Amino acid sequence: MIYGTAWKEEKTAQFVALAIENGFKAIDTACQPKHYNEKLVGDGIAKAGISREDIFIQTKFTPIGGQDVNNMPYNANDDLAKQVNDSLKVSLSNLQTNYIDSLLIHSPISPIKDMLKVWQIFESFVDNGIIKQIGISNCYDIKLFEYIYSTSKIKPKVLQNRFYASSGYDKELRAFCNKNDISYQSFWSLTANPHILNSDIVHNLSDKYNKTKAQIFYRFLTQINITPLNGTTSEKHMKEDLAIFEFELDGEEIDKIDRLF
Ligand SMILES: NC(=O)c1ccc[n+]([C@@H]2O[C@H](COP(=O)([O-])OP(=O)(O)OC[C@H]3O[C@@H](n4cnc5c(N)ncnc54)[C@H](OP(=O)(O)O)[C@@H]3O)[C@@H](O)[C@H]2O)c1
């Protein structure tokens, strides 16, 4: 499970430190001041006092369309290559590190030639060791994802998407990820799925295992090879959600929840 840092504003450092102290070993952020305070993510990691090699840090390059033009981490008038390079410099400085474990393109860029250009710059970061792996977020088009996969020298290792009914829960994309050793990360996992959390099946499993409905659902996700992002601000929820690895749903239970999708 990855701790998500969006929308925490001036409390970002406090929650990141609390999440790490409670056992989160992976942190997701973005160089996108509109929704994330990346500098305070860095401060939170430093405050927790964890050594760099024991924490997985993921951030994102956010194209202009996803930025607030009045609060940009790079100059919107520069060419794309400089934007990407400057964004990474800001992330490294904010996160107080000389390497990043995982760097994502926050959302697909069009035209496709610009997307491929950014991907090639990402590949050069991997080549020089500053970035350990690269991936994409908000890509719901299997053809586009397959195209990037097949044309790239360094393959995507992460797909981070909204996990919801409108995308058919990314069934095809998830199968592609499983086949090609790509980690599928979900967000909106709880908020987009109250119908599943409130289903009789999840309710009964919650009684059987003496776990909350959120714990049952997060456990289900991890057992079908999904890595959920979790941005809880509650220490109680942090503890509960990290405790999901203490129990396991059986195959029939997994199938029953799976059929709700
Ligand atoms: N790539 C993208 O475009 C994108 C978009 C959105 C989000 N993200 C990433 O995903 C992260 C997670 O965002 P999210 O939208 O999925 O939602 P979230 O921030 O994880 O919010 C979950 C909501 O469910 C509540 N909740 C109730 N029981 C819970 C439990 N046991 N555990 C956790 N939460 C519980 C939380 O309230 P409490 O705080 O009271 O627990 C919170 O209001 C973000 O911080 C960000 O890193 C990425």
Residues facing residue 61 across a β-bridge: 31, 105
Please give the share of the chain, as a percent, with pLDDT higher than 70. Answer: 100
Instruction: Return the sign of the alpha-carbon dihedral for residues 151, 154, 155, 159.
Output: negative
User: Residue 201 Cα, ligand 1 centroid: separation in angstroms?
Assistant: 23
- Residues in contact with ligand 1 by the CB-under-6-Å rule are 4-6, 28, 137-138, 160, 187-191, 212, 214, 229-234, 237, 240-241
At 217-244, the pLDDT tens digits run 999 999 999 999 999 999 999 999 999 9
Would you state the pLDDT for residue 124? 98
Cβ neighbors of 167 (< 8 A, separation 6 or more) are 140, 161
Q: Whose CA is nearest to atom 43 of ligand 1?
A: 232
| Angle subtended at Cα 135 by Cα 176 and Cα 56, rounded to the nearest 5 degrees | 115
Would you state the pLDDT for residue 117? 97
User: Residue 188 Cα, ligand 1 centroid: separation in angstroms?
Assistant: 6
Q: Whose CA is nearest to atom 36 of ligand 1?
A: 232
At 25-42, the pLDDT tens digits run 999 999 999 999 999 999
User: Residue 223 Cα, ligand 1 centroid: separation in angstroms?
Assistant: 19
Is residue 230 within 8 A of residue 241, CB to CB? The reply is yes
Place 72 in a pLDDT band, splitting at 50, 70 and 90: very high
| pTM for the whole structure | 0.97
Helices (H), the chain: 12-21, 38-48, 80-94, 112-127, 142-151, 171-179, 194-197, 200-209, 213-223, 235-242, 251-258
Place 54 in a pLDDT band, splitting at 50, 70 and 90: very high
User: Residue 5 Cα, ligand 1 centroid: separation in angstroms?
Assistant: 9
Tell me which of 3.20.20.100, 3.30.470.20, 3.40.605.10, 1.10.3720.10 is the CATH number of domain 2-188.
3.20.20.100
Nearest atom, ligand 1, residue 215 CA: 31
Please provide the average confidence, as pLDDT, over all residues in the chain.
97
3-class secondary structure, 21: helix
Owner of token pair 């860029």: 109
Q: Give how far the C-alpha of residue 195 lies from the chain's centroid of Cα atoms, to the nearest Å.
A: 23
User: Residue 182 Cα, ligand 1 centroid: separation in angstroms?
Assistant: 22
Domain boundaries in the chain? 2-188, 190-261
Would you state the pLDDT for residue 239? 98
Rg (CA), the chain: 18
The arithmetic mean of pLDDT across residues 164-183, rounded, is 97
